[in-house]
Amino acid sequence: DTAVSQTPKYLVTQMGNDKSIKCEQNLGHDTMYWYKQDSKKFLKIMFSYNNKELIINETVPNRFSPKSPDKAHLNLHINSLELGDSAVYFCASSQDEKGENSYEQYFGPGTRLTVT
Amino acid sequence: AQSVTQLDSHVSVSEGTPVLLRCNYSSSYSPSLFWYVQHPNKGLQLLLKYTSAATLVKGINGFEAEFKKSETSFHLTKPSAHMSDAAEYFCVVSDLPFSGGYNKLIFGAGTRLAVHP
pLDDT at A89 over 70: yes
Structural domain for A97, as ranges: 4-115
Q: Which of B33, B44, B57 to mutate to test the interface with A (most CBs of A within 10 A)?
A: B44
Domain span holding position B73: 3-116
pLDDT digits (tens, 9 = 90+) for B95-111: 765 556 567 788 999 99
Which pLDDT value is given to residue B43?
Answer: 86
Provide the pLDDT for residue B52: 74
> In Å, how far is A88's CA from the nearest CA of chain B?
10
Question: Above 70 in pLDDT, residue A101?
Answer: no
Q: Residue A5's pLDDT band (boundaries 50, 70, 90)?
A: very high
Mean per-residue pLDDT over chain B, rounded: 90
Residue A54 binned pLDDT confidence (cut-offs 50, 70, 90): confident
Interchain CB distance below 8 Å, A100 and B42: no
pLDDT given for residue A49 in this prediction: 86
Indicate if the pLDDT at residue B56 is higher than 60: yes
Residue B88 is nearest to which of A31, A41, A96, comparing CB atoms? Answer: A41
3-class state of residue B60 by DSSP: helix
**The domain that contains A82 carries what CATH number?**
2.60.40.10
Distances (CA, A) of B11 to A22, A28, A72, B24, B110: 35, 37, 38, 16, 11
How many distinct structural domains can be found in chain B?
1
Which of A42, A90, A94 comes nearest B103 by C-beta?
A: A94
Cβ neighbours for A25, distance < 8 A, ≥ 6 positions apart: A3, A4, A5, A32, A72, A73, A91, A93, A106, A108
Domain of B81, CATH number, reads 2.60.40.10
* Whole-angstrom Cα Rg for chain B: 14
Based on the structure, what is the number of domains in chain A? 1
